[in-house]
Amino acid sequence: MATGDTVKFISLGGIGSIGKNMNLFEQGDDIMIVDCGLMFPDEEQPGVDLILPDMTYIFDNAERVRGVVLTHGHEDHIGALPYLLEQMALPVWGTGLTLGLVQAKLDEFDIKPGCEFIEIKTHETYQIGSFSFEPIRVNHSIPDAVGLAIYTEQGLIVHGADFKFDQTPTEGLPADFHAFARAGAQDPIALIVDTTNCDEEGTSGSEMRVREALMEIVEEAPGRVIMTTFASNIGRLQLAIDAAAEHGRKVAIVGRSMEKNVRVAAPLGHIEIPEYLRININQIDSYPDDELVILVTGSQGEPLAALSRIARGAHHQIKVHPEDTVVMSSSAIPGNEALIWKTVNGLARQGAHVLYGEGYVHVSGHAKAEEIKLLVNLVRPKCLIPYHGEYRHMLAFQDLAIELGFDKKDVHLLGPGRTLEFTGGIAHPGKSVQAGSVNVDGLGVGDVGDVVLQDRRILAHEGIVMPVIAIKRDTCEMVSEPDIYSRGFVHVQESEEMLDKIKHEVGRTATDVCAEGIDDPEVLYEQLRKRIGGYIERLTGRRPLVLPVMIPIDM
């Protein structure tokens, strides 16, 4: 029975929603951070570039924070780190590729001097304050990913991280089943489990299947092969490069994030692309189509990425040729489906042959139900903490855990800011801490909140109408013709008659208010807002944002 300090696990970031993964472990005077990710906004957050976890709790406890451990190099695990390191100098532990990807990001930031980057290897143990941890090799859709065995005062906590079990991986070795089994022999107090694909039966499938499919496609394609995948899926890029080498094709890599990742991964040995094989995008027209593989960004249909521009016919260097084969070697992040199909249709309409489909040219990087069960049975922890899934996945995980013989009360579903405290080796809910989201828009962090987003939504749907008048500062008397400015409302040239009507109503409102002897511009503002809003709704059935603009003149 553990008798040391109380140990706290705090889910600061993304549990309950995919993205911005960030977990804290606390004991005595030490806080250890695992991962520091961001997420990308959905359509209800127009104009927001990035979403960071709210790190107030970390800043408030800065003197106790001993460092950050990173499990792998995906944005939802490392993306917020620069924003943290801008505020405080910390040591950062991660595998070679993960640190390489972090460092490639830091140039654009003004990070505190004194940050230290420590490369970690599996089978080694590292100390962070009073914690120690051992990285455990897992398979995932990026190389050099690890889970963690974390030794605390209360016992061992196993963090499975983002994982799958690939028995025949094409890069590196299968996940370290032995290390998980050894951890399981130490009576761990908790296991943190990736539940992303928890509601899918069977296993996620091996990268070997994708390798075979890509080999065949590249061999048989009558023209160019254009392949997209996540830019960080280095292993998948390698498969395409191998297929190109095997079948006498050159390889061009197009898209900034993909080029950058290859630049980082190559010197570390995670991707191998012989000099003779690689060509520049400007050279592609010098080769016959059936001697080319082109790797492009845009697997999620991102409008500005290479593939989407090709699909729209808007890419300067790559136009679709009728015999092109396009391989969508990826799956949709929920919410991106429509954009992806738009890209596929655009390519198909220009004559490309588009291949897609999970289990064919793609397999997921996240474990499915059978792999999750195996992890749980290997580690045999006292309690389970589902992680990295939507709420529905966590519930599906709870059902699965019950099937595996766990009590429902030993499966802890933790929303952002929720805390689990271990005493006597037993977990129980602790006090929540501040958590949530901070929006990044352009250069600003945190200055775009709910009110601004609400306005953007209305602007997006109905546009804005601005009644404009100049008034005498002291009497609120109108001293100009009323005017109407609008954007996103109606086509101005074709709607002059309607806009004239609204203009007229503005004048009438201002005159009415003045006739009542009111000389308070705020009253006039409210009257204009309400009356013109109501008038427009009766006239058009729409409710644009109505923003009266009044200029006080001294005269």
Q: Give me the residues that bind its own copies (CB under 8 A), please.
A: 16-17, 42-43, 46-47, 332, 334-335, 337-338, 341, 344-346, 348-349, 353-354, 390-392, 394-395, 441-444, 447-449, 451-453, 455-457, 459-464, 466, 468-470, 479-480, 483, 485, 487-491, 494-495, 540-542, 545, 547, 549, 551-553, 555
> 269 vs 303, which CB is nearer to its own copies?
303
3-state secondary structure 119-142: ECCCCCCEEECCEEEEEEECECCC
- Cβ 479 to its own copies shortest distance, Å: 6
CB 541 to its own copies: min, Å: 3
Is the distance from CB of 503 to CB of 486 less than 8 angstroms? no
Nearer to its own copies, 89 or 553 (CB): 553
Smallest gap from residue 65 Cβ to its own copies (A): 27
At its nearest, how many Å lie between its own copies and the CB of residue 548? 9
Q: At what angle do helices 96-106 and 256-265 cross, to 10 degrees?
A: 130
Q: Which one, 353 or 382, has the nearer CB to its own copies?
A: 353
The number of C-alpha atoms within 13 Å of 501 and in the hemisphere containing its C-beta is 11
Smallest distance, its own copies to C-beta of residue 498, A? 9
Closer by beta carbon to its own copies, 361 or else 469: 469
**Where do we find the tokens 């028995």?**
167
If you write DSSP's letter for every residue of 394-431 in order, what string do you get?
A: HHHHHHHHHHTT--GGGB----TTEEEEEETTEEEE--
* Shortest spacing between CB 387 and its own copies, in angstroms: 15
In the bound state with its own copies, the residue whose beta carbon lies nearer, of 209 and 456, is: 456
Q: How far apart are CA 217 and CA 211, in angstroms?
A: 10
Q: How many CB atoms lie within 10 A of CB 274?
A: 9
Rg of the chain, C-alpha, whole Å: 28
Phi-psi map region of 47: left, alpha, beta (phi>0 left; psi -120 to 50 alpha): left
Nearest CB to its own copies, comparing residues 392 and 428? 392
Contact 415, 388 (CB under 8 A): no
The minimum distance between CB 521 and its own copies, in angstroms, equals 12
Closest approach of its own copies to the CB of residue 537, in Å: 8
Q: How far is the CB of 98 from its own copies (least distance, A)?
A: 28
- C-beta of 430 vs 488, nearer to its own copies: 488
Nearest to 543 by CA among 484, 460, 473: 460
CB of 91 to its own copies, least distance (A): 30
Tokens of 47: 């104009």
DSSP state of 284: G
Question: How big is the chain, counted in residues?
Answer: 555
Nearer to its own copies, 267 or 442 (CB): 442
Q: Which two tokens stand for residue 367?
A: 């474990």
Identify which of residues 333 and 426 has a Cβ nearer to its own copies in the complex: 333
Label each residue of 428-451 as H, E or C: EECCCCCCCEEEEECCEECCCCHH
Q: Which residues contact 71 (CB under 8 A, 6 or more apart)?
A: 34, 35, 77, 98, 145, 146, 147, 148, 159, 161, 162
CA distance 150 to 126: 10
Pick 3 or 493: Cβ nearer its own copies: 493
